[in-house]
Amino acid sequence: MTRGFCNRDKIGNRDVVGYGLNGSYMYMDLEICPFPAIRFRENTPDLL
């Protein structure tokens, strides 16, 4: 198994929409960093 770029394999089919906390791809809402780096839901045909 190969490791994805910056754990991209762990977020599935989600869009990266921001920098996140310390530049990592994660969904976490914090008071000091209120905008998550990835979308909440995965991309599906009805969403696109």
Band of residue 14 on the pLDDT scale cut at 50, 70, 90: confident
Total domain count, the chain: 1
pLDDT at 42: 84
- Span 19-46, mean pLDDT? 79
Tokens of 18: 């921001």
Which range of residues forms the domain containing residue 8? Answer: 1-48
Greater model confidence, 33 or 42? 42
> Contact, 6 vs 19, CB < 8 A?
no
Greater model confidence, 5 or 42? 42
Check: pTM over 0.85? Answer yes or no.
no
Helix (H, G, I), strand (E, B) or coil at 27: coil
Helix (H, G, I), strand (E, B) or coil at 38: strand
